[in-house]
């Protein structure tokens, strides 16, 4: 019977280890939230959103230029990635059987795994070098490239959830295949696709590496697309590695804004997918 | 079929990245050849470039992260998919995936101001006997390989955990029931399931590896950015992604730029191989069990996805 007892002990230990792993992973999550909130709140006030950065030593100041910059960069990225991403997603799901579709899927997954810093180098070569100028466009291009595969894969998955009977119904009514896809199938999946886009936006809004040498940084306020532009993430980076306590506080505040954006988007997406799943269950 | 043109863009981008990186690194490849990856002098002023410390740092930090993250990630996957009460499942999935959603820069900021001081305290309190081994030699700075490995471990855990969970889900229920019917304990039944899912699990671990290799900001901020090859966990080192992030916008001449692009090219190739292999493993696992699923009476037929005639 000692053998059995040993096995039972081993089993309990294993269960305990698994539970412990979950706790172990949640500790850094809790710590990050604790510090980002407690440190970030100190420098976060209205000034942070409407004022420009101040020189070292001068109190106050904010990241108005960086916040606008991040908005512009993500908007540019979405402008580029949403059409390409959604349409390639449609292609993969509706014409999915072919060898070409398999190649597209492979390309999407590959692109998804390319380190963001490498995407930055690509954008540098394609946009910055020819124009000899860091620019918002280059940054938006880099972020857009990162966004395309995310949107494409989400769109594909969501379209596959649309019941085949809908497609068949449209085709039976005499619609052409393209008509059936774009007037019936895509609208049916539209809420989910929007969710996917929001999630992708949240993810790229937090990207830093591809912006370092594309949109670069800018101490001043600009909305000109052919000029270097500031972004929340690059600004947080610059402040974080600086030796000044003032700037560190600003970096925490920037991090708090970033985490809040990500959290809100994730929660929204979660709610939306819940509703979608329930809709499909009925 | 106009949609195909858009889809083609995806392929063109990937090919474009490869071609552009290869093209821009020719100068460095011609000048240094394979010696680029065997020497460790990094002297932009003299125009002498060797990338050994960077590839060493990238591999070292990523493997370190895997060693820490893999047991934890598997524990999480098993707990969520096999052990935890149904009501806890959704919140736990959400929380672990939140860990993946936190921006890299926030990890870096937290790393500099919270983790590094903690690691420094830990390093200072190491017993002397340990301090004389090569693994723990050097001054306890906090900034260095150990901090980088820890941050990376936290960052890749959610990826490995969520794929492992999917893979475990693909293990047929009959497999577990059979184990229990033979009198297996919980541990033994789950071990059998893990063994059944081993291909996919290796794939999940490799996926985490791929993430760790390419991670830039958080690592750059805590690893110390010192190009040297050292076994010590305490030593400040450098990674491929970090050197690109720090020096690319300052590269003053063609050769310097080209050397950095070559590092990017190799990083691209390594992650490409690791990710493709990982996807292949995961795919072969979920596909083979997909056939097993169809034999299960209670899962029902796959929904007809409408292979409509053209």
Tokens 């295949």 belong to: A177
Query: For all residues of chain B together, what is the average pLDDT?
Result: 87
Residues facing B145 on adjacent strands: none
Residues of A whose CB is below 8 A from B186: 11, 14-15
- Judged by average pLDDT, the poorest of A277-281, B55-59, B110-114 is A277-281
> What pLDDT, on the 0 to 100 scale, is given for residue A280?
62
Confidence band (pLDDT; 50, 70, 90) for B275? very high
Question: Is residue A173 within 8 angstroms of chain B, CB to CB?
Answer: no
Tokens representing A40? 């970030």
- Judged by average pLDDT, the poorest of A25-39, A89-103, A240-254, B99-113 is A89-103
Q: What is the mean pLDDT of residues B278-303?
A: 58
> What pLDDT, on the 0 to 100 scale, is given for residue A3?
83
Task: Tell me which residues of chain A, numbers 181 to 240, contact chain B at a CB-CB cutoff of 8 Å.
Answer: 202-203, 205-209, 212-213, 216, 233, 236-237, 240
Secondary structure, 3-state, chain B: CCHHHHHHHHHHHHHHHHHHHHHHHHHHHHHHHHHHHCCCCEECCCCEECCHHHHHHHHHHHHHHHHHHHHHHHHHHHHHHHHCCHHHHHHHHHHHHHHHHCCHHHHHHHHHHHHHHHHHHHHHCCCHHHHCCHHHCCCCCCCCHHHHHHHHHHHHHHHHHHHHHHHHHCCCHHHHHHHHHCCCCHHHHHHHHHHHCHHHHHHHHHHHHHHHHHCCHHHHHHCECCCCCCCCCCCCECCHHHHHHHHHHHCCCHHHHHHHHHHHHHHHHHHHHHHHHHHHHHHHHHHHHHHHHHHCCCCCCCCCCCCCCC
Residues of A whose CB is below 8 A from B10: 84, 88, 104, 107-108, 111, 148-149, 152
Question: Is residue A3 within 8 angstroms of chain B, CB to CB?
Answer: no
Tell me the pLDDT tens digit for each residue of A67-88: 999 999 999 999 999 999 999 9
pLDDT value at A281 more than 70: no
Task: Tell me which residues of chain A, numbers 50 to 109, contact chain B at a CB-CB cutoff of 8 Å.
Answer: 83-84, 87-88, 90-92, 94-95, 97, 100-101, 103-104, 107-109
Distance from C-alpha of B219 to C-alpha of B61, rounded to nearest angstrom? 9
> What pLDDT, on the 0 to 100 scale, is given for residue B68?
96
Note whether A110 contacts B110, CB cutoff 8 Å.
no
Query: How many Å is the Cα radius of gyration of chain B?
Result: 23
Of A8, A240, A248, which is closest to B108 when you measure between CB atoms? A240
Tokens 């929660």 belong to: A267
CB B286 within 8 A of CB B200: yes
Query: How many Å is the Cα radius of gyration of chain A?
Result: 23
pLDDT value at B289 more than 80: no
pLDDT value at B295 more than 60: no
Tokens 């019936």 belong to: A184
Distance from C-alpha of B304 to C-alpha of B158, rounded to nearest angstrom? 32
Distance from C-alpha of A218 to C-alpha of A251, rounded to nearest angstrom? 16
Interface-testing mutation among A43, A89, A209, with chain B (most B C-beta atoms within 10 A): A209
Query: What are the φ and ψ backbone dihedral angles of A45, each rounded to 5 degrees?
Result: -150, -175
Closest CA to A159 of B3, B164, B270: B3
CB A91 within 8 A of CB B4: yes
Question: Is residue A277 within 8 angstroms of chain B, CB to CB?
Answer: no
Closest CA to A145 of A226, A203, A225: A203
% of chain B beyond a pLDDT of 90 = 60
Residues of B whose CB is below 8 A from A212: 245, 248-249
Distance from C-alpha of B109 to C-alpha of A261, rounded to nearest angstrom? 17
Beta-carbon contacts of residue B168 (< 8 Å; ≥ 6 apart) = B77, B78, B81, B82, B193, B194, B197
Q: What is the mean pLDDT of residues A223-252?
A: 89
Tokens representing B282? 């995961």
Counted across chains A and B, CB pairs separated by less than 8 A come out at 266
Tell me the pLDDT tens digit for each residue of B216-230: 999 999 999 999 899
Query: What are the φ and ψ backbone dihedral angles of B49, each rounded to 5 degrees?
Result: -125, 125
> What pLDDT, on the 0 to 100 scale, is given for residue B288?
64
Distance from C-alpha of B169 to C-alpha of A34, rounded to nearest angstrom? 33
Q: What is the mean pLDDT of residues B47-69?
A: 94
Whole-model pTM: value is 0.90
Distance (Å) from the alpha carbon of A213 to chain B's nearest alpha carbon: 6
> What pLDDT, on the 0 to 100 scale, is given for residue B308?
38
Tokens representing A253? 């505040």
pLDDT value at B294 more than 90: no
Q: What is the mean pLDDT of residues A83-111?
A: 87
Question: Hey, how many other C-beta atoms are within 10 angstroms of the C-beta on A146?
Answer: 23
Note whether A164 contacts B210, CB cutoff 8 Å.
no
């Amino acid at each position: 019977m000692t053998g059995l007892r040993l096995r039972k002990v081993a089993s309990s230990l294993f269960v305990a280890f698994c539970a412990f792993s979950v706790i172990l992973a949640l500790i850094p999550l809790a710590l990050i939230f604790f510090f980002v909130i407690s440190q970030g709140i100190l420098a976060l006030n209205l000034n942070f959103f409407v004022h420009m950065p101040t020189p070292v030593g001068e109190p106050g100041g904010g990241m108005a230029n960086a916040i606008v910059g991040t908005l512009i960069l993500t908007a540019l990225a979405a402008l580029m990635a949403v059409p390409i991403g959604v349409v390639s997603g449609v292609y993969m799901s509706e014409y999915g059987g072919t060898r070409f579709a398999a190649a597209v899927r492979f390309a999407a997954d590959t692109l998804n795994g390319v380190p963001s810093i490498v995407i930055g180098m690509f954008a540098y070569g394609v946009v910055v070098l020819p124009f000899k100028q860091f620019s918002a466009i280059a940054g938006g291009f880099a972020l857009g490239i990162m966004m395309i595969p995310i949107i494409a894969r989400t769109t594909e998955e969501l379209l596959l959830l649309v019941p085949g009977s809908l497609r068949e119904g449209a085709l039976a009514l005499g619609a052409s295949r393209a008509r059936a896809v774009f007037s019936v199938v895509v609208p049916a999946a539209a809420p989910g696709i929007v969710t996917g886009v929001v999630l992708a936006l949240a993810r790229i809004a937090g990207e830093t590496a591809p912006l370092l040498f594309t949109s670069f940084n800018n101490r001043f306020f600009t909305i000109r697309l052919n000029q270097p532009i500031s972004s929340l993430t690059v600004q947080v980076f610059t402040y974080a590695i600086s030796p000044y306590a003032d700037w560190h506080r600003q970096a925490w505040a920037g991090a708090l804004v970033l985490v809040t954006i990500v959290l809100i988007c994730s929660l929204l997406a979660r709610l939306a997918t819940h509703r979608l799943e329930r809709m499909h269950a009925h | 079929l106009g949609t195909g043109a858009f889809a083609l863009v995806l392929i063109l981008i990937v090919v474009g990245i490869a071609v552009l990186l290869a093209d821009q690194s020719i100068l460095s490849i011609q000048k240094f050849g394979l010696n680029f990856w065997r020497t460790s002098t990094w002297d932009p002023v003299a125009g002498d470039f060797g990338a050994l410390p960077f590839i060493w740092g990238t591999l070292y930090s990523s493997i370190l992260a895997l060693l820490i993250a893999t047991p934890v990630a598997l524990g999480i996957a098993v707990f969520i998919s096999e052990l935890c009460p149904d009501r806890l499942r959704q919140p736990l999935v959400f929380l672990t995936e939140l860990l993946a959603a936190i921006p890299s820069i926030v990890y870096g900021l937290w790393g500099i101001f919270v983790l590094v001081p903690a690691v420094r305290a830990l390093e200072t309190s190491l017993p002397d006997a340990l301090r004389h081994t090569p693994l723990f030699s050097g001054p306890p700075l906090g900034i260095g390989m150990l901090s980088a490995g820890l941050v990376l471990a936290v960052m890749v855990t959610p990826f490995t955990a969520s794929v492992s969970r999917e893979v475990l889900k693909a293990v047929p229920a009959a497999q577990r029931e059979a184990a229990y019917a033979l009198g297996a304990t919980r541990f033994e039944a789950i071990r059998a399931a893990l063994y059944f899912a081993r291909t996919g699990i290796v794939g999940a671990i490799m996926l985490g590896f791929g993430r760790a290799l390419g991670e830039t900001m958080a690592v750059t901020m805590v690893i110390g950015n010192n190009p040297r090859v050292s076994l010590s966990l305490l030593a400040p080192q450098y990674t491929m992604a970090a050197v690109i992030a720090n020096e690319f916008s300052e590269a003053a001449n063609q050769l310097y730029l080209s050397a950095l692009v070559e590092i990017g090219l190799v990083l691209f190739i390594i992650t490409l191989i690791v990710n493709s292999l990982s996807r292949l493993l995961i795919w072969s696992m979920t596909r083979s069990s997909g056939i097993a699923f169809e034999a299960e009476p209670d899962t029902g037929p796959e929904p007809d996805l409408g292979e409509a005639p053209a």
